Amino acid sequence: MSNERMPVPGRPRAAAHRLPLLLALLAQALGCTSSSTVPAGPALDPDTVRFLEQSTFGPTEVLVTHVQQVGFSGFIDEQLAVPPSSLGDYAVVLQGPAQVCPTGSPANCYRDNFTGFLPAVQFFHNAVSGEDQLRQRVAFALGQILVVSAEDVPTTYGIADYQTLLLDGALGNFRQLLESVTLSPAMGRYLNMVNNDKPNPDAGTNPNENYARELLQLFSIGLVQLRADGTVVTTDGGAPVPTYDQGVVEGFAHVFTGWTYPTLPGATLKTHNPVYYRGPMEVVASNHDGAAKALLGGVTLPAGQTPQKDLSDALDLVFQHPNLGPFIGRQLIQFLVTSNPSPAYVARVSAVFADDGTGVRGNLAAVVRTILLDPEARGAAKTDPAYGKLREPALLIAGLARALGVQTDGVYLRNACAAVGQDVFQAPSVFNFYPPNAPLPGTSLLSPPSVLFDSTTALSRSNVVYTLLFSKVAPDATIAGATGTVAPLTDLASSAGDAGALADRLDALLMHRTMSAAMRSAVLSAVNAVPASDPVGRVRAAAYVIATSAQYQVER
């Protein structure tokens, strides 16, 4: 097994648990009064907190305690067995908005039938409360690589079906996932593989290149040749070596002809089936281009193959391409752990992508396990100035909700996340909310999530933190079963009598004990401005100062 090569995370060392107590005793002995009591919460191992930031939508005190008992690998084993959570059941809608939501319909008719709104609300509910945390987290990352946006695919059930496909496949094999994604009618609609006709000389049309191009560029191998460690192969002159040319894109575009929407129950397959998003796309062989197709690496598919054989051969070529492991593996590291992984880290992940130890290529569960257990991911504290990543909005918001015990139906979280630039399931384009190579201005580093941290969202993110902590968001009356969002904070308030204890408890849970003395001092001053008679107010003050800080928002 691949993970046998990796350092096995031991039980958290007892010394790490006792350290706060020792410090507290020491402080007491020295006459310091600000931290005279032990935090009321459980002792949290810093690396376990970090592990859960990387593998779930965020640690809770209960979950940290659990993982301290079962170990990192044991937790991953547990998570692999948890069935996927549901994004909700949505009615199949066969007609368009004009028929389904005629004038006079409720205002939410369009939203609830033709957008990703309700699945995104359920996404946040699941992120905060669901048991399948690892699966959800990996599916969310994959959904930002294999992008379908509700912006151009107006169907609630189709978006939910697509995201469910990602949840189902997130810890399976990448080859199967690639095929499921390729044949998804939502993807077919988004990137125009659905109803992609073979060349039509009379009409003067060519096969549509959209899916072919983005499959290669974004979903699998990328534009330039990579080594196994993710670094770019260059010419003697220093120019990156392209992975393929326009002719290859056209070859794949011809492969992807002939497919149409799934056939409606009771109907007969036609060249262009009516819009229907349930199940995989189907093919009409007579609309498939029968000529030979020049594809990757000088491979040409012979003329006259079936559309299914063409598709399978083409996806096999992509799947076997040496770029695939580093291209996908590096992005998964960026989504889960750090924006600037070392080439050696990428290489270790690529190796497991190529062979999980049992001769299987593309085993995503093994890849994810390797990413999470790698020495570059693990450890109590990371001091490299280039390490870490800015929390993307969904992780910031869901993570705070989980850590602070926010009770939510997901509605406010979805809306807040959209307001700070990450409208979940509705990326602005197939290039996602940000590209994986986005630079951090003023440095030589990459920081993809910083694309969503401009001067406007720098402030609006703080305002989301404020609302989460200080407001009670009423249930949205247009959503059945809505319960609203509120942070009771009563558990943390039990620690609020002692400002130092409160700061330490939040430090352990939110910052895995990396809070500096100076930052702690600032937190204490905010807490101490709130009377002890208002323990919830003291928690709010402390959590606000921490959660709005760059020190917290950059996960390390």
Binders of other proteins in range 344-383 (CB under 8 A):
383
Please name the residues in contact with 384: beta carbons below 8 A apart, sequence gap of 6 or more. Answer: none
The minimum distance between CB 554 and other proteins, in angstroms, equals 5
Residue whose CB is less far from other proteins, 31 or 385: 385
The minimum distance between CB 356 and other proteins, in angstroms, equals 31
Residues 463-492 close enough to bind other proteins by CB under 8 A: 463, 466-467, 470
Q: Which residue in 291, 288, 262 sits closest to 275, CA to CA?
A: 262
Q: Which stretch binds other proteins (CB under 8 A): 17-25, 59-67, 276-284, 542-550?
A: 542-550
Residue 156: other Cβ atoms inside 10 A:
26
Residues 319-348 close enough to bind other proteins by CB under 8 A: 339
Q: Which residue in 360, 361, 293 sits closest to 322, CA to CA?
A: 361
Residues 389-448 close enough to bind other proteins by CB under 8 A: 389-390, 421, 428-429, 431, 435, 437, 439-443, 445, 447
Q: Which stretch binds other proteins (CB under 8 A): 27-35, 273-281, 312-320, 537-545?
A: 537-545
Which residue type, as a one-letter code, is found at position 435?
P
Residues 246-265 close enough to bind other proteins by CB under 8 A: 246, 249, 257
Residue whose CB is less far from other proteins, 359 or 441: 441
Q: Are strands 282-283 and 259-260 parallel, antiparallel or unpaired?
A: antiparallel
Rounded CA-CA distance 78/69 in Å is 12
Residues 107-146 close enough to bind other proteins by CB under 8 A: none
Write down the residue that tokens 């101490």 correspond to.
528
Residue whose CB is less far from other proteins, 254 or 414: 254
Check residue 458 for interaction with other proteins (CB under 8 A).
yes
The minimum distance between CB 169 and other proteins, in angstroms, equals 25
The minimum distance between CB 22 and other proteins, in angstroms, equals 26
The minimum distance between CB 249 and other proteins, in angstroms, equals 8
H helical segments located in 288-432: 307-320, 324-336, 343-354, 364-373, 393-404, 411-419
Residue whose CB is less far from other proteins, 130 or 207: 207
Distances (CA, A) of 264 to 101, 104, 189: 22, 29, 16
Residues 177-236 close enough to bind other proteins by CB under 8 A: 191-192, 195-197, 200, 202-210, 213, 217, 223-224
Write down the residue that tokens 């002939």 correspond to.
258
Rounded CA-CA distance 103/537 in Å is 47
Phi/psi for 300 (5° steps) reads -120, 125
Residue whose CB is less far from other proteins, 413 or 527: 527
Distances (CA, A) of 340 to 333, 376, 440: 9, 11, 11
3-state secondary structure of 555: strand
Q: Which of 8, 233, 303, 459 binds other proteins (CB under 8 A)?
A: 459
Tokens standing for residue 211: 């899916």
The minimum distance between CB 277 and other proteins, in angstroms, equals 16
DSSP 425-470: T--SSTT-SS-TT-B-TTSS-B-GGGGG-SHHHHHHHHHHHHHHHH
Residue whose CB is less far from other proteins, 387 or 412: 387
Residue whose CB is less far from other proteins, 470 or 476: 470
Residue whose CB is less far from other proteins, 61 or 197: 197
Q: Which of 99, 235, 455, 533 binds other proteins (CB under 8 A)?
A: 455
The minimum distance between CB 549 and other proteins, in angstroms, equals 5
Residue whose CB is less far from other proteins, 10 or 441: 441
The minimum distance between CB 81 and other proteins, in angstroms, equals 35
Tokens standing for residue 370: 């390797």
DSSP 30-54: TT--TT-S--SS----HHHHHHHHH
Rounded CA-CA distance 273/265 in Å is 12
Residues 273-312 close enough to bind other proteins by CB under 8 A: none
Write down the residue that tokens 């460690």 correspond to.
229
Residue whose CB is less far from other proteins, 37 or 429: 429
Size of interface with other proteins, in residues (CB under 8 A): 83
The minimum distance between CB 29 and other proteins, in angstroms, equals 28
